[in-house]
Amino acid sequence: MSHGTTTLHRGRKAAAATLIAAAAIALTAYQDTEADAAGAPSTATGGTATGKYAFAPDRTAGDRCTTDHLKAGWGTDGGGRPDMHSDNQQTVGVWLKNTGSGDCTLAGFPGVELVGNSGPGDTFDLRRGAQQPVTVHLKPGEHTSFTFKVLPSLTGSEKRIEPGRVNITPPNEKKHLTLRWPFGGAVLDQRGATHPGSWVSPIGVG
């Protein structure tokens, strides 16, 4: 929490009683400012969401959810299992659960890196989609989810990646969570595409 610097403008010398009273008022005002800052509701662009996608007015939502206090898994409340034998764009769902002892918030896009089976350098970092992020509020034990899109590759002549695992980096974090890729198949490698068919959505959106 940051604090502004309070500058006391003093006038001409006054009686001792007046100075003591002024100092008491200034101290009270500073303490009130501290309490207001600590209890002020947080504001997020795009709205506020809670676990299980329920939306609510903005409010104080605790600290940011960190990688150390999150658990990840495949799927969403609406499904999210891709058919890697289809030639259509597929949706993959990932849930994130708050395993900490206190409330926390997630806001923005997660990092999604597909890691292939061909050795070092066989990776594909998905770009961000165009959706507007929201803030997701999670109580201990609650979960939320996000999705990402992939274009399956069905022919060996295409530039593609066969995922073995996926690294998930929560927003504003440097450490990632790793999930084994259980769906098989291959993803069309579009790292150089202007408008790739594989991209990631914000947490709690869609």
Q: Position 92: which residue type?
A: V
52 is a domain residue: yes
Residue 2 falls inside a structural domain: no
**Residue 1 located in a structural domain:** no
Burial of 116: CB neighbours in 10 Å, binned 0-12, 13-18, 19+ = buried
User: Do 176 and 96 fall within a single domain?
Assistant: yes
Q: Are residues 91 and 191 in the same domain?
A: yes
Q: Which domain holds residue 16?
A: 9-40
**Residue 195 confidence class, pLDDT cut points 50, 70, 90:** confident
- DSSP alpha helix (H) spans, 81-170: none
Q: Is residue 3 part of a domain?
A: no
Same domain, yes or no: 53 and 93? yes
Q: Do 112 and 181 fall within a single domain?
A: yes
pLDDT attached to residue 24: 39
pLDDT tens by residue, 39-98: 322 222 233 343 433 333 333 446 999 999 999 999 987 667 899 999 999 999 999 999
Kind and range of the H or E run holding 95: strand 90-98
Is 70 exposed, middle or buried, given 0-12, 13-18 or 19+ CB atoms closer than 10 A? buried
Same domain, 87 and 34: no
Please check whether residue 205 lies inside any domain of the structure: no
Are 32 and 68 members of one domain?
Answer: no
Whether residue 87 is contained in a domain is answered as yes
Residues 112 and 29 in one domain: no
Specify whether the CB–CB gap between 105 and 75 falls below 8 A.
no
Residue 182 lies in a domain: yes
Q: Which residue has the higher pLDDT, 180 or 119?
A: 180
The domain tally of the chain equals 2
Same domain, 180 and 145: yes
Same domain? For 61 and 109 the reply is yes
Backbone angles phi, psi at 178, to 5 degrees: -115, 130
Q: Are residues 29 and 75 in the same domain?
A: no
> Quick one: 101 and 160 in the same domain?
yes
**120-167 residue pLDDT tens:** 889 999 999 989 999 999 999 999 999 999 999 998 788 899 999 999
Mean pLDDT of 172-191: 94
Query: How many other β-carbons are positioned within 10 Å of the β-carbon of residue 79?
Result: 10
Rounded CA-CA distance 181/178 in Å is 9
Note whether residue 164 is domain-resident: yes
Averaged pLDDT for residues 173-201:
91
Residue 140 belongs to a domain with what CATH number? Answer: 2.60.40.10
Q: Does residue 18 sit in the same domain as residue 92? A: no
Which DSSP string do the residues of 81-129 spell out, in sequence order?
Answer: ---TT-SS-EEEEEEEEE-SSS-EEEESPPEEEEEESS-TT-EEEPEE-
Res 78: pLDDT: 63
